Amino acid sequence: MSEVNENQPLGTPTWVDLRVPDVASAKEYYGRVFGWEFAESELGTMCLLRGRPVAGIRQGEGGWTVHLATDDCDATAKVVSAAGGTVDEEPHDVGDLGRAALVTDPTGAVFGLWQGRAFPGCRLVNEPDTLVRNDLVTGDPAGARAFYPAVFGFTLDGNPDLPEFDFTFLRRPDGHEVGGIMGVPGDASAWGTCFEVADTDATLAHAGVTVPVDDTPYGRSAVFRDPFGVELSIIARP
C-alpha cells in the first residue's frame, strides 16, 4: 500500500479521472468492478477506497485522463507550449483543491496538469483497486521521447525485460520510474491507465467481460473496455 498525503514531484502521475456521458451508470459499473464508493466534490464524483479518493468520474467525453503533478501549473503549461504541445484548457483553480490544465502533447496524446493545494490527487496508489501505472502508447515514440524530458526533466531508460517491444521507461531526475512510452507503428497516441487488482480473473468476471489474459514478468494482466467503450488495463502483481 502507498498512501499519498502531499504533492508528488514534477511529472508524477498524481490523479486520474474518467469522462463519460452517464456518471450514474459509471458509478454502478466501477463500484461493482473495484468495490469503490463515491462522494461528490468540486472535481466531480470522487471514487473512494476505504474513504480515500483513488480516481474521479466527470460528465463528458474522453475516457480516462491522467494528470501529471506540477508545483506551478501556469509555468508548466507554458513549457508544454514551448516544447510543441498545445494547451486545451488553460490553467484554472478548482476551488481550494488545486490548479489544473488540460494539454495535448505533439504526438496527439491528451493529459492533465495538477498543482495540488488542499488535494494532492490519488490518496492511495499501488495496491489492489487503485492506480498502479500509466504508459503512453504512440505511433511517434521519437516525438514523445523528445517532448516529455523537455517538459518534466525525465530521463529515458530501455527495458531489457521485454526486448521485442519499443518501450522506454520515463524516470524522474531522482531515478523513480513514473511510466513509459510504448511505440506501436500506426497507433494513435493515448495515455493508458492501469489499475492493480488482487485477482485479474475475478475482476474480469465482475466486469462481465471475456478477454485474453497475459502472464508477464510484472504480473497477470488484461486489457478490456467498459460499457462506454473506454479502454483500461488491470494487473495482479506477484
Termini Cα distance of the chain: 14
pLDDT attached to residue 158: 82
Q: Are 53 and 46 in contact (CB under 8 A)?
A: yes
Specify the pTM: 0.95
Q: Would you tell me which CATH number, out of the four given (3.10.129.10, 3.40.1260.10, 3.40.50.150, 3.10.180.10), belongs to the domain 2-124?
A: 3.10.180.10
Domain residue ranges of the chain, discontinuous segments joined by +: 2-124, 127-236
pLDDT attached to residue 1: 56
C-alpha cell at 189: 497516441
Query: What pLDDT tens digit does each residue of the chain (238 aa) get?
Result: 589 999 999 999 999 999 999 999 999 999 999 999 999 999 999 999 999 999 999 999 999 999 999 999 999 999 999 999 999 999 999 999 999 999 999 999 999 999 999 999 999 999 999 999 999 999 999 999 999 999 999 999 987 777 778 999 999 999 999 999 999 998 899 999 999 999 999 999 999 999 999 998 899 999 999 999 999 999 999 9
Domain 127-236 has CATH 3.10.180.10: yes
Query: Given this chain, do its domains 2-124 and 127-236 carry the same CATH topology?
Result: yes
Strand 63-69 and strand 13-20: the pairing is: antiparallel
